[in-house]
Structure 1
């Protein structure tokens, strides 16, 4: 633990300012999402907005403790934290409560706790520490497999909880690995798989396969009889055809009913305005009705009359769009992106691989949450139910993201002392 007089000596106050601007703005919009004439006080602790204030105080306490503790504590216990997190993820499968279709919550009296929220920062710590111990410039296949195992284990456990949204967030670590030298081909392969998956749902298999065969023949003709290239093209074609034939099985037998419905609605194959499509339709109406400058704070009709379900959690951006309008939403996005860019800037100035990789993990996790959450409210991605960090209602979410961010701010404050 560092001396009291040095606690705030090297802290990045810009990041802290942006953090508090975001959580205060989030609390205001949670209040707006539940406001009515009878709830005229912001400090009604029986309501969600009142509870969020308590969560903000608790999160601030955690932030202070995190900043006080010496950085070596986080580094030396990274693997221990990871093991504890994995044990909690396993435990919730057997002892957890089902909320919204996902068995991902521990209920202890009135206290609720979601282990998948801490899985993000414990995985980031473990990956950062492992990479920090790699001294050779080129990472071996064995080392790559080990890194993927660190990421894949919590991913699989969260999938088993039926929490697809949180599991997808772990794809953010691919961005970190790319920054650390992972081939861009992995990211391209991921995009190709997603594209083929979507096309397989929209286009008849025989037509899609015919298109791929035609494209493959063109590439074979352009390869100038290069046997190696021809073999690779044929292998990719066979793999693509096999994947296309497996899409229907994956879609109909592995994905849950509500995930299938949400994907179909996004792709325009279903409308269902009173069922699975209701959230998205009402979300678009709320955001669109805000216009350029919004209806004004506490004046959102879609918000006040509960047309948008989960408007204080997954659909909190609807409240922002309706009451603050395009300009308010734009300023909010600028503020959020400023925090992401600040984290990237701080990451690049780290002397330690551990601190840099952890910083990039923080930025990537927040970015994926930001992109997917806003994307699902405007119909760019399926509705998969993940919070908007620092904005959405929820104690586990706010405290988890606060810990994630402030561990990095702690590491940054020691950057002149950490050499590896």
Structure 2
């Protein structure tokens, strides 16, 4: 990547300040709702640093400082340092398996003292996006080439496997979103279709009798074959695909029973309606849905949410922060928050498409994919559309590691974008 120094300007003249404003808005939404979620009448000040809301203020201020430092860096360093950042992150992921502190059943944090903890898996997301962008933007690298595809896949899979060992299933799944980056860079849409079909077969095979699913596959295959009866090569591929699908259906139950832990299966069973929640494994989600539903159109008001005030929802300042928004700010407030996320994602995609350097474009799509996946899964979990998975809501959930990592993810993009006109090639 090369730059025309004559076109360099002060970073604040070229920064996309609309995106910065959205970022600050989401941070403020998070701060006030964390204050509501864990409000302590004995420590009412939102700037009490012994509380989560006081600490979140520190995280926000330090996040802004981190973002400003990134904007002051030389853009070319971001690409040059991508491998080093990735290696350091992998080392931290290995280190956390040795000396990590267990929280909520996951050994995912390194204790820094003073009540502060570092979660390396959060930083692995932007590190992976950086190295993936560095590799895919290299000369003669095409995602359609098997070797290039495998190397790109290995870049994504290495941190996934280390995070899975913690085990942190939510953060592990986030890396799957990077398939959209590969798709944008030329991966065949048939790959996404196949993945979508396998997910559909997996879910339907759990809900319905396996033989019903197999009969449906046979009927669909027959009808499609009759409609393309003159295309024998395509019919042959169709039959092979049907055979693989039937084999997959038979494998679903063994994979489900042996590949997931019992509490994970229980959560999925409750969401899919396969069993009644007799063991209260869906307690968190039920309370979250009650909180969101009780908010009505306009909400109960700031610090007035009863579900929130009386701590009915566990992890309400982190994984279930959206139910605080729903209860106290209602449907209207929820729509505003969703609108901010939608605006942010559209803005990032717009930024991605105006980049002159492939590295910047690929990184931008990586950032969009990670943020989109977090928002989708977290909110779907809070309203009961998906099983409970420990995954924060970007810029809103409590936590320094989460806020800092998303800040770095976003501000690296803003820095790359601010210098897009100075890029000659890359």
Give yes or no for TM over 0.5: yes
Where 1:107 maps in the other structure, the secondary structure is strand
Deviation of the 1:219 alpha carbon: 2.7
8 Å CA contact 2:144–2:188 kept in 1: the answer is: no
Map 1:56-205 to 2 at 5 A: 56-110=60-114, 111-135=116-140, 139-205=144-210
Where 1:171 maps in the other structure, the secondary structure is helix
| Structure 2 gaps, min length 5 | none
User: Of residues 399, 404, 409 in structure 1, which corresponds to 2:404?
Assistant: 399
More displaced 10-residue stretch of structure 1: 338-347 or 366-375:
338-347
What is aligned with 2:43? 39
Provide Cα deviations, 1:136-183, integer angstroms capped at 9, x if missing partner.
778422111111111121122222222111111112111111112111
More displaced 10-residue stretch of structure 1: 98-107 or 348-357:
98-107
Where 1:35 maps in the other structure, the secondary structure is coil
Deviation of the 1:36 alpha carbon: 4.2
Deviation of the 1:394 alpha carbon: 0.4
CA distance 1:274–1:39, change in 2 (3 Å) = farther
Where 2:107 maps in the other structure, the secondary structure is strand
Provide Cα deviations, 1:6-34, integer angstroms capped at 9, x if missing partner.
23221111111111111011000000001
8 Å CA contact 2:143–2:182 kept in 1: the answer is: no
What is aligned with 1:299? 304
Question: Counterparts of 1:27 and 1:137 in 2: how far apart (Å)?
Answer: 43
What is aligned with 2:59? 55
User: Of residues 320, 323, 332 in structure 2, which corresponds to 1:318?
Assistant: 323
CA distance 1:75–1:136, change in 2 (3 Å) = closer
Question: Counterparts of 1:250 and 1:137 in 2: how far apart (Å)?
Answer: 33
8 Å CA contact 1:259–1:384 kept in 2: the answer is: no
Query: Could you tell me the TM-score, scaled by structure 2's length?
Result: 0.94
Question: Counterparts of 1:362 and 1:38 in 2: how far apart (Å)?
Answer: 40
User: Of residues 389, 396, 400 in structure 2, which corresponds to 1:384?
Assistant: 389
8 Å CA contact 1:346–1:412 kept in 2: the answer is: yes
Residue correspondences, number: 420
Where 2:298 maps in the other structure, the secondary structure is coil
Deviation of the 1:225 alpha carbon: 5.7
- RMSD of the TM alignment (CA)? 2.0
8 Å CA contact 2:142–2:149 kept in 1: the answer is: no
Map 1:299-378 to 2 at 5 A: 299-378=304-383
Question: Counterparts of 1:380 and 1:264 in 2: how far apart (Å)?
Answer: 12
Query: Could you tell me the TM-score, scaled by structure 1's length?
Result: 0.95
Deviation of the 1:120 alpha carbon: 0.6
Question: Counterparts of 1:150 and 1:46 in 2: how far apart (Å)?
Answer: 39
Map 1:259-298 to 2 at 5 A: 259-272=264-277, 275-298=280-303
User: Of residues 219, 222, 244 in structure 2, which corresponds to 1:214?
Assistant: 219
8 Å CA contact 1:36–1:304 kept in 2: the answer is: no
8 Å CA contact 2:59–2:403 kept in 1: the answer is: yes
